Amino acid sequence: MKAAIISDIHSNLEALQVVIKDIKKRRIKRIFCLGDLVGYGANPNECVEMCMKEADVIIAGNHDWATIDKTSIDKFNPIAAEAIRWTRKNITRQNYKRLEGLKLTHTIKELFLVHATPQKPENWNYLFSLKDFQGQFSNFRGQVCFIGHSHIPAVVFQDANGYTDFLRDNPFPLIKNRRFIVNVGSVGQPRDLDPRASYAIYDGNRRYIEIVRLNYNVLLTQQKILDSGLPEFLADRLMIGK
């Protein structure tokens, strides 16, 4: 099986279009989406509709659930909460219903898909440090867990002896006696000081995973955010990937 894994689109249509085009150019037939289709950006309806059309599997993210009142925005920062309120006002009833149908996890062969963490995914915890990742390996089956949520691409492996560390090779081989947690980064709002859209390719036949970065029309996305009345900060951060 070969698949593209995307996450954290955040209503950024320009970035999503570039990513989908690249996936099709590579003739990758399957797309798995790890959630946060909406929030922050100005095109929630178009992004939900494109993901529903193109993705084989879609997992719920915290911004998706916040939009449909399944997750409280009380712990969101003020700008994120404002963007959710804007999204609630602008999303269509049909797309609202589509978000309601999203589940928290999905397993397909050796892959476990979740937005935030394998352990208690509904709590929307973040994985940043090696210690954060270490505690998660016992909470999923299979060789690879794909996550998003932090918007920062990262790969952590654990070997048969329990040794755990970050990997910096890209692409990297799927070694038999290792298990992996892979953060695929964000399509629509990267936060690793690289403004390019991010997604991952999983190749189960050739046994490797690759993180792909792509340029897109950031200026157009920024202008849409400003024109929509969303906070200016949401436009500014896209240029610097933070």
pLDDT in tens, 5-22: 999 999 999 999 999 999
Note the pLDDT tens digit of each residue in 165-214: 999 999 999 999 999 999 999 999 999 999 999 999 999 999 999 999 99
Q: What is the mean pLDDT of residues 50-74?
A: 98
pTM as predicted: 0.97
- Looking at domain 2-240, does it have CATH number 3.60.21.10? yes
Average pLDDT over residues 50-70: 98
* pLDDT, mean over the chain: 97
Q: Could you give the CA distance from residue 109 to residue 9 in angstroms, rounded to a whole number?
A: 25
Q: Assign 3-class secondary structure to 46-97.
A: HHHHHHHHHCCEEECCHHHHHHCCCCCCCCCCHHHHHHHHHHHHHCCHHHHH
Percentage of residues in the chain with pLDDT exceeding 90? 100
Type of residue numbered 1: M
Q: Supply the pLDDT for residue 35.
A: 98
The pLDDT assigned to 12 comes to 98
Handedness of CA 208, 241, 33, 166 (dihedral sign): positive
Distance separating alpha carbons of residues 144 and 118, to the nearest angstrom = 11
Q: What is the pLDDT of residue 194?
A: 98
> In the chain, where are the structural domains located?
2-240
Q: Which DSSP category does 150 fall into? A: S
- Give residue 190's pLDDT: 98
Per DSSP, helices labelled H in 68-214 are 78-90, 93-100, 130-134
pLDDT in the model for residue 239 = 95
C-alpha dist (Å) from residue 52 to 47, 56, 85, 86, 233: 8, 8, 22, 21, 28
